Chain A
Amino acid sequence: MLDLVGYGAFFLVTALSYAIICLGLNIQWGQTGLFNVGVAGFVAVGAYTSALLTTPPAAARFGGFELPIVAGWIGAMIGAGFCAGLVGAVTLRLRADYLAITTFGIATTIQLVALNTQGLTGGPFGIGFIPRPFAALAERPLAFSTANLALVGVVTLIAFVAVERLARSPWGRVLRAIREDETAAAALGKNPNLYRLQAFVLGGALMGLAGAVQAHFIGFIAPDNYVPALTFQVWAMLIVGGSGNNRGAVVGAVVVWGLWSLTGFAMSAIFPPEQQARAAALQIVAIGVMLAVILLVRPRGLLGERKTVSRYVEAGDEAPP
């Protein structure tokens, strides 16, 4: 019973941390139409930043400032946001598919740096001993899991509320205007590039935060965590949930993570332990096929944004007030 609760907490914490990433991607893609295929890179920057800030010093490696976890998480947001700002300043004016290729390249480069600069990031061995929240409760698994779940839940909720309010604010409306018709938005005196950059930075910061949350929950990170499969999972979550929609982002994260875990169970059940690596590969195939099917059958996702002309144009003929 305890195992189940423990697993349930683990499942939800992971799902919610993915939800935070999705919320970030939703600002970039759903609200602003920025095609970021390098999500894993920003998550990595956040995770590593937080890790380097909060872990104890390690020989021959930079960092280890043993700062409190909160500082790590804030640092993660700043680091990832800064990275996004740098990337965005250079690349956001590229057209969509070039932006996709470029962000993909950036994530690849970030992963390469993480893998090869042992002095900075611990190289292929990664960074361990990342302090876990409520570490004092580690002896009591139930309390520990619940406390962590509550913490991540609160963080996700705050992120969700913040993103929702931004979306409904004048700032959010400008973003959508830019997404739909940039020239018109520019004609209204709004500088599209500045708004896009802001959206990109905010999205990146959220992705970094999620990376830090994940890092502190597991206690250990390595370059292998931040591969294109991660980016793809997040996109799958956003599309399944319904891009453009913050609730969809959260729902999609839980649903896809659920499917992922289910297929994982199926694989362990079907395949013997020595074949687990191959089983993991099959799991990825399953997710890839699933996303393709969703794109073909229901591209709007579960809670997809309906295109609206205006609140006043509904199925009837009401005249606007």
Chain B
Amino acid sequence: MTLQFLADGLVMGAMTGLGAIGLTLTYSILRFANFTHGDLISWGAYFTLVLATLIGAALTHDLQPLGPFSFGWPVVVAGVLAMLLTGLLALLLDYVLFGRLRRRGNAIVMVIASFGASLALRSLLEFMFTSEPTYFSRELQIAFPVGAGIRITPDQLCMLGLAGVLVVAMHLLLTRSHIGRAMRAVSENPALARVVGIDVAAVIRTTWLIGGALACAAGVMLGLTVQIRPYMGFDLLLPLFAAAILGGIGSVPGAIAGGLIVGIAESAGVQLIGANYRAAIAFLLLIAVLLVKPTGLFGVRD
């Protein structure tokens, strides 16, 4: 057994962690387990794919990939736009479905609704794009050694860097900015938040936008390093829940730590018992956390 699983686990874990941040924020502020989060990841990847294709088609000259990476600047631009679009998709879901159910005050109905919406979302992707996997580019990446028997591709390194930047940005947002404090306030006590003048509805909208955008980022990363297919996000759902709960619902550092732990555990597990049971490993972690310490590593609230 080599240490390669560390590199693979780190990359996978960073993506899981990014997705888990969005999930943990919506979970703690909106107070329900959102089963559609995985599908936001998938939609983010497909938004990016479509936009990048459109941009590429609109240009007349041939495009070269950027530096040592497999993607060109259309993917980057498309990715940024897609983050906005995915955030808007999340807002749309809230406007049409979750918001109305939330006013009825039934959290369990919201989970069922999210389960159904999740099914509809990925089936819609399957309908539009078929279930064949696709890719951002056909460029093959060569993994280069970084010592200790570990090899990593330039794309993977880039994704790690990007994830790091986004996580730091999120952490600063939550701890230093007013909107971040407002989000933490609503997460802890929405009634008191209103009393101090926080527009809870606006905070909820912001949460969906951020959650959607981060999910899109995770989707682009996953699409670049693995592949794009309609079930890509949904298959990540158990690891996402495991990461968010392991880290403690509501904690951004927790979501990242949880994501990394889940990613590395999965990679290690894959080396030991094969790739087929990947999701089961996340599930076992999840059960362990729920039974031993349900508030997670950095749990701020129950």
Is there a direct interface between A and B, measured as CB atoms under 8 Å apart in the complex? yes
Does A206 lie at the interface of the complex (its beta carbon under 8 Å from any beta carbon of B)? no
Q: Quick one: which of A246-295 are within 8 Å of B by CB? A: 277-279, 281-285, 287-289, 291-292, 295
Question: Residue B115 contacts which of A232, A282, A299 (CB distance < 8 angstroms)?
Answer: A232
Q: Are B126 and A278 in contact (CB under 8 A)?
A: yes
A115 vs B280: C-alpha distance in the bound complex, in angstroms?
12
Does B138 lie at the interface of the complex (its beta carbon under 8 Å from any beta carbon of A)? no
Interfacial chain B residues near A239, Cβ < 8 Å: 112
Does A229 lie at the interface of the complex (its beta carbon under 8 Å from any beta carbon of B)? yes
Closest to A98 in B: B290
- Min Cβ gap B250→A in Å is 14
Q: Are A37 and B115 in contact (CB under 8 A)?
A: yes
Query: Which of the 9-residue segments A65-73, A103-111, A132-140, A165-173 touches chain B?
Result: A103-111
Taking residues whose C-beta sits less than 8 angstroms from the other chain, chain A's interface range is 35 or more
Does A224 lie at the interface of the complex (its beta carbon under 8 Å from any beta carbon of B)? no
Is chain B's interface secondary structure helix, strand, loop, or mixed overall? helix
A229 vs B123: C-alpha distance in the bound complex, in angstroms?
10
Query: Which one of A97, A101, A279, A285 has the highest number of Cβ atoms from chain B below 10 Å of its Cβ?
Result: A101
Does A200 lie at the interface of the complex (its beta carbon under 8 Å from any beta carbon of B)? no
Query: Which of the 9-residue segments A14-22, A76-84, A88-96 touches chain B?
Result: A88-96
Question: Residue B277 contacts which of A91, A116, A289, A295 (CB distance < 8 angstroms)?
Answer: A116
Closest to B285 in A: A105
Question: Residue A299 contacts which of B104, B130, B280, B294 (CB distance < 8 angstroms)?
Answer: B104
Query: Which one of A109, A115, A235, A283 has the highest number of Cβ atoms from chain B below 10 Å of its Cβ?
Result: A109
* 20 sample A-B contacts, Cβ–Cβ < 8 Å, listed by A number: A35-B111, A37-B111, A90-B287, A96-B107, A104-B35, A104-B238, A105-B283, A105-B286, A105-B287, A106-B283, A115-B276, A277-B126, A277-B131, A282-B123, A284-B119, A284-B123, A288-B123, A289-B120, A292-B120, A299-B109
Please name 18 further chain A to chain B contacts, defined as beta carbons within 8 Å, in addition to the given A229-B119, A232-B115, A281-B126, sorted by A numbering.
A35-B111, A91-B287, A98-B294, A101-B238, A105-B287, A108-B280, A108-B283, A235-B112, A236-B116, A285-B124, A288-B120, A288-B121, A288-B123, A291-B112, A292-B97, A292-B113, A295-B112, A299-B104
